Amino acid sequence: MVHIVGRVPEALARFVTVDDVLVIGTGKTGFIYSRVFGTVSLQIAAEVQCSVAVIPSIDLRFRKGIVAGVKDDDLMHPIIGAAAREARARQEPIELIHSSFSGVIPAMVETRAIMAARVAAVESLVDADTVVRTRYTHRPPAEALLDASRNAALLVVGAGHPRGAGHALGAVTHDVLVNIDAPVLVVRLTAAADG
């Protein structure tokens, strides 16, 4: 047992390494509840340099499947790899969610064919016995991910690419953790890129 001193997010950030996976619990269990209680789990996930599994206080016995949020960036490979490892260990299917929602700021829109080709290129990480389904949506990504993972055993997301320095989270991952309704694995590029 290790006793850490100081503010929890900073103390844990000093303790973990990029190759670790930090598992933390949270009392959050959905949109309304998360507005009432603190955001320590969110602060920890934003502060540490490793991947983080955030487990809400919910009954996990009847949940099935792995949901993973993907887009065409440098985190797609590590996200699908993490989802594949979990699916293999649990012998459960994977559902890949890709949102082409661009919001109010115009963004490059990926066609379904281009995204499908890129996802297929990294699906080799998934065992042949694992069922993989890819869903394309125009809904906001966090909303689509939260909806898809409502009964999932695990939601895998990337830490995102926030503006500015540090380990902070991207907007989609931030929204997912604020409104958490399933166990969430936040994959960081630094931890996954070496493995």
What is this structure's pTM? 0.85
CA quadruple 165, 170, 171, 174: dihedral sign: negative
Q: Is the pLDDT of residue 194 over 60?
A: no
Query: Smallest Cα–Cα separation from 72: which of 46, 34, 111?
Result: 111
Q: Which tokens go with 162?
A: 């926030």
Torsion of CA 83, 87, 93, 94, to 10 degrees: 0
Confidence of residue 104 (pLDDT cuts 50, 70, 90): low
Paired strand residues for 136:
98
Query: Smallest Cα–Cα separation from 75: which of 169, 1, 180?
Result: 169
Q: What is the CATH number of domain 59-193?
A: 3.40.50.620
- At 111 the pLDDT is 66
Domain ranges of the chain: 59-193
Q: Which tokens go with 117?
A: 């080709």
